[in-house]
Amino acid sequence: MKSYDVISTRANRIDTPDKATGKAVFVDDITLPGMLYGALLQSPHAHAKILSIDTSEAEKLPGVKAVITAKEAGQVKYGVSPARYDETVFAVDRVRYVGDEIAAVAATRLDIALEAVSRIQVEYEVLPAVFTVEDAVKDGAPQLHDEFKGNLCAEVHQEFGNVAEGLENSDIVITTEMKSKRQDGAFIEMQGCIAEYDNRGVLTLTSSTQVPHYVQRTVAMVLGMDVGKVRVKKPYVGAGFGIKAAANPMELACCMLARKTKKPVKMNFTREQVFMYGRARHRFHHTITTGAKKDGTLMALKHECWLDGGAYTSFGIATVYYTGSLLGGPYKLANMSYDGYRVYNNKPACGAQRGHGAVIARACFEQQLDMIAEKIGMDPLELRIKNMMETGDTTCNDLNMSSFGMAECIEAVRNGSDWDKKKGHMPPGKGIGMACGFFVSGAGYPIYRSDTFHGTVIVKLTEDGGTALVYTASAEIGQGSDTAFAMIAAEALGIPLENVRLASGDTDMGVDLGAYSSRQTLMTGHATKEAAENVRRQVLEVLAEQLNVAVEKMDIRNGFIEFDGDTPDFSTLRTRYIKEHRGWTDNPDSDKLTFKEASRIAFLERGSIVGTGKYKPHSLGGKFKGAAVGTSPAYGCSAQVAEVTVDMDTGQITIDKITDAHDCGKAINMTSVEGQMEGSISMGIGEAMHEEVIFDNQGRVLNDDLAEYKIVTTMDMPRVKTIVVESDEPNGPFGAKEVGEGAIMPTIPAILNAVYDAAGVRVYELPLTPERVFHAIQEYRERNKATA
C-alpha cells in the first residue's frame, strides 16, 4: 500500500490561524466606499392578496436611493429545481407566508433603509391560511399555488421488489410512526451579502453562501444577465448546513439594488429573518412497516411519509425523494416501497439540512430494528451485522456501495463502547442503544439537468517554482474543504503542504457545484488531484528532456525529485537555477534535485506551468422515476452507540456518552473528519432533544432567537468518542469519501434505542422533552399495572 506524506495526517487547517485571530473576513466585515445599505419589506400576513403598494413616502425620505417591488423586478420565476420554480423575488399579487418579500430599499444608512421600509404602504386582503399538513390537504382548504391542486407540492410512489409478498413471508411485522419538528439551521453567521455593479456592466455578489455556482446562475437568470457578467464569490462563511445552498431573495434583491443605484449595496438578515426565511429541515411524519424472518433476516419495508413543506418548493422535490431512497441501505433488503407527499402551507419553506431528507426516516426504521431484535431475542447489534450490506452490493433502488466499511464501524463501536459488557446489564434508568446509517458522497447529478462537470480546478506554479497555487470555485464554509484540497494538491504534486496556497469560492475560478450533499472532498478532490497531477507531469516532462531520463523513472516526494535507479547528473540544471537566483539566500544545497529547481526550469522552458482538472460522476442509478436522487459515486457510513440516563420521575434525559465510528474512505485530514463527526452528533442531539421552530396561530415564528430555539450548548453536549474507520473507495480521490452528513444518521435512533433500554418506553415524536418522555413513562406504568 502506498504511503502518504501529506494526506491522512492531522495537519493544521490553513484557514484557522486567521479565524483564531479575527483576521478572517466574513461578508459583514466588508465595508466598501460609498456603500449603501439595503432592507426588505416582508409580509406580516401568512396569506394575503396584495391590492396595492405605494412606495412614494419611502422614496421621499432623504438618503433613500432606490425602492424596488415586483413591478420593477419582474416576475421571473426561480427556485432550486428548474422543474419547480415557484418563487419570484418579490411577491407579485399574493404573499404566502409571514416573511414573504414585497419590496426592498437601498439607502445611505441602515436606519434610513429600515425607516423607508416602514413607510411603504401595502394594502392587503387577508386570506384564510393553513399551517399544517392535515389542514392543507382537507377539501376546501385555501390553495397556495393554483398549479398544485390540494396543496400537493410533490408526490412519489415507488416499489422495488414485491413488498406485499415480502411482508407475507415475514414472521414478524412491525408498524410504527415517527413525527419530528421543523428545525432551523442555527448557523452562527446570519446570511448576508454585498452586490456591486461596475461601469462595464459586471455584477459582483459577495455572499455568505454554500453554492456560488448556483447563485451565479440564478442571479443571471432572474436579472436577465449573461452568466459571464455575473461573478459570485464567498468570503469566509459562518456555516450553512444546507440552508445557504440556494440563492435567497435577499441576494437577488441586493443585486437589483446595486444595478439600479450603481453603488455597492450591503444586506444582512437579522436572526429573526433567518428563522422567518427558514429552508431548514422539514417536519416529517413517517409510517413504516418492516417485516423480518425469525432469524432476523429483513424481508420488506413499506414506507409512507408526509412532509410539511411550507410555502414554496425550495429543495423539496429532492427532499421527498431522498426521504424514501436513503432507506434502501445499509441493510440487505429486497423489497421496499415508498409513498411520499410534500405539502404546501403558509409557513416559510423548508429545504435541505445536514442529512437531507433521511434523518427522521432512519430514526423511525432503526427503532424498528431494535423491536425486531427484541422480539426474536437477538442482540440488536448482531441483527444489524446479519443484514448488513457489503462492499460491492447494490440496494434494491440501485445505489451501489463501492466501498462499505459498515461492519468495521459496528465492530469499532462495539469495542469502543464496551457494548457486550453493557447491553442488557445497565442499572435501572440507564440505557445503551445503537444505530447505523449511510449517506451520499455528493449527489450523482447536478440540480439542473446538465452534462456539466461538477468541479473544475486549476493548479499553477509560481514562476520561482516554490509554490503551487490552487484555484477552485468550491465553498469552504467551515468544514475544512480548503485544507483538504490543499493537502490533496500537495500529495499529488509531491510537495509539502506549506508550499501550497489556495483560493476558493469564486465563480471566476471555474465551475464547482458547491458545498452540499457532502460532495466536495470526493468531487472537487478529484479535480484537484487531476490538476496537480497534470502539473506534476509537465514538470517531469521538462526534466525528462533536460536530463534525458524517462518520466516514469522519476517521482516527486516531499519537494524533492526522486529517481528510480541512479541519480543523473543535474549540476547543469542547478547552476542554471542558481544563476537565476543570484543574490537570493535560499539556494539549494541538498544532494537531491529540488522540486523548486525543477519547476523553475520548467517555467523557463515552457512559461507558466498550469494544470487543470475536472470531475463528473459516471452515469449512476436506475431507470425509474426519481432514480437520480440518492445516487452517488460513493457512500460513507456510520455506526453509533448512545448511552443515556432517564430520570423516571421527571422524564429528563441525560446523554452520557456517544461512541461513533465512521467510514470516510481514506481520511484526508483526520482531525477534520473527527470534527465533522462531532458536529453532526451535536446537531443530531439538538434535534433529538430540544430543537423545534414553534409558530403561533398566525404563522409567525414564536421562538425566533437562539435563546428560545435551543441548540446544543457546552452544558448538554456529552463527551463523544470518535473512531475513524478507513476504507479504500475506488471512486474517491486517494480513496476518500464523505463524512459531513452520514455521521448524523445514527444519532437520533441510537438515543431513542438507549432511552428504551433505560426506561422501557418508545417515543415516536421528537423532540424528547421531559413532558413527552414523562407521559410515555406514565403510560408505560399504567400499561404494566393493567397487565400485572
Partner 1 sequence: MKKLIQMTINDRAYEVAVEPNKTLADLIRYDLGLTGTKKGCDTGDCGACTVILNGDPVNSCLVLAVQADNAVIETIEGLSTDDGLHPLQQAFVEKGAIQCGFCTPGMILSAKNLLDKNPAPTEAEIREGISGNLCRCTGYQKIFEAIESTRS
**Closest listed residue to residue 523, CA positions, set 615, 613, 446:** 615
Count other Cβ atoms within 10 Å, centred on residue 548: 8
Q: Which residue among 6, 7, 13, 409 contacts partner 1 (CB under 8 A)? A: 13
The residues near 81 (Cβ < 8 Å, ≥ 6 apart) are: 313, 315, 317, 318, 447, 448
Q: Which residue among 77, 229, 271, 332 contacts partner 1 (CB under 8 A)? A: 271
CB of 549 to ligand FES, least distance (A): 48
578, interface contact from ligand FES, partner 1, none, CB < 5-8 Å by kind: none
CB of 717 to partner 1, least distance (A): 5
Does 29 participate in binding partner 1 (rule CB under 8 A)? yes
Beta carbons of 322 and 250 less than 8 angstroms apart: no
Residue with smaller CB distance to partner 1, 520 or 680: 680
Q: Give just the sign of the alpha carbon dihedral 592, 595, 596, 601.
A: positive
- The pattern of x and - marking residues 656 through 675 that bind partner 1 according to CB under 8 A reads ---------------xx-xx
CB of 31 to partner 1, least distance (A): 7
The residues near 497 (Cβ < 8 Å, ≥ 6 apart) are: 6, 11, 14, 486, 487, 490
Instruction: Determine the Cα–Cα distance for residues 169 and 161; give it in Å rounded to an integer.
Output: 13
- The pattern of x and - marking residues 229 through 268 that bind ligand FES according to CB under 6 A reads ----------x-----------------------------
Does 188 participate in binding ligand FES (rule CB under 6 A)? yes
What part of residues 721-760 is at the interface with partner 1 (CB under 8 A)?
722
The residues near 176 (Cβ < 8 Å, ≥ 6 apart) are: 287, 288, 364, 367, 368, 371, 762, 764
Query: What DSSP string describes 96-139?
Result: -STT-EEEEEEESSHHHHHHHHHH-EEEEEE-----SHHHHTST
Backbone angles phi, psi at 619, to 5 degrees: -65, 130
What part of residues 360-419 is at the interface with ligand FES (CB under 6 A)?
none
CB of 34 to partner 1, least distance (A): 15
CB of 46 to partner 1, least distance (A): 24
Does 351 participate in binding partner 1 (rule CB under 8 A)? no
> Does residue 62 have a cis bond before it (omega within 30 degrees)?
no
Residue with smaller CB distance to partner 1, 276 or 317: 276
Residue with smaller CB distance to partner 1, 517 or 672: 672
Instruction: Determine the Cα–Cα distance for residues 254 and 68; give it in Å rounded to an integer.
Output: 10
Grid cell locating 307: 412532509
What part of residues 559-618 is at the interface with ligand FES (CB under 6 A)?
none
Does 237 participate in binding partner 1 (rule CB under 8 A)? yes
Q: Give just the sign of the alpha carbon dihedral 730, 733, 734, 739.
A: negative
Beta carbons of 646 and 773 less than 8 angstroms apart: yes
Instruction: Determine the Cα–Cα distance for residues 149 and 133; give it in Å rounded to an integer.
Output: 14
- The 8-class DSSP code of residue 22 comes to T
Q: Which residue among 187, 306, 321, 453 contacts partner 1 (CB under 8 A)? A: 187
Instruction: Determine the Cα–Cα distance for residues 470 and 610; give it in Å rounded to an integer.
Output: 10
Does 764 participate in binding partner 1 (rule CB under 8 A)? no
Does 8 participate in binding partner 1 (rule CB under 8 A)? no
Beta carbons of 193 and 250 less than 8 angstroms apart: yes
Beta carbons of 328 and 632 less than 8 angstroms apart: no
Does 505 participate in binding ligand FES (rule CB under 6 A)? no
Q: Which residue among 10, 262, 537, 625 contacts partner 1 (CB under 8 A)? A: 10
Across the beta sheet with 121-126, what order do the strands follow?
Answer: 94-95, 48-54, 121-126
675, interface contact from ligand FES, partner 1, none, CB < 5-8 Å by kind: partner 1
- The 8-class DSSP code of residue 388 comes to B
- Binding footprint of partner 1, residue count (CB under 8 A): 57
Residue with smaller CB distance to partner 1, 35 or 76: 35
Q: Is 427 exposed, middle or buried (0-12, 13-18, 19+ CB in 10 A)?
A: exposed
Beta carbons of 222 and 75 less than 8 angstroms apart: no
21, interface contact from partner 1, ligand FES, none, CB < 5-8 Å by kind: partner 1
CB of 387 to ligand FES, least distance (A): 37
What part of residues 676-705 is at the interface with partner 1 (CB under 8 A)?
678-683, 705
Residue with smaller CB distance to ligand FES, 313 or 682: 682
What part of residues 279-318 is at the interface with ligand FES (CB under 6 A)?
none
Alpha-carbon separation of residue 533 from 465, 530, 560, 757 (angstroms): 16, 5, 15, 52
Beta carbons of 543 and 598 less than 8 angstroms apart: yes
CB of 208 to partner 1, least distance (A): 10
681, interface contact from ligand FES, partner 1, none, CB < 5-8 Å by kind: partner 1
Q: Which residue among 328, 431, 465, 478 contacts ligand FES (CB under 6 A)? A: 478
Residue with smaller CB distance to ligand FES, 610 or 670: 670
CB of 754 to ligand FES, least distance (A): 27
Q: Is 750 exposed, middle or buried (0-12, 13-18, 19+ CB in 10 A)?
A: buried
Residue with smaller CB distance to partner 1, 10 or 60: 10
778, interface contact from ligand FES, partner 1, none, CB < 5-8 Å by kind: none
Beta carbons of 263 and 215 less than 8 angstroms apart: no
- The pattern of x and - marking residues 30 through 49 that bind partner 1 according to CB under 8 A reads -x------------------
Binding site for partner 1 (CB under 8 A): 10, 12-13, 15-26, 28-29, 31, 185-190, 236-239, 241, 270-271, 477-480, 671-672, 674-675, 678-683, 705-707, 711-715, 717, 719-720, 722
Binding site for ligand FES (CB under 6 A): 188, 239, 478
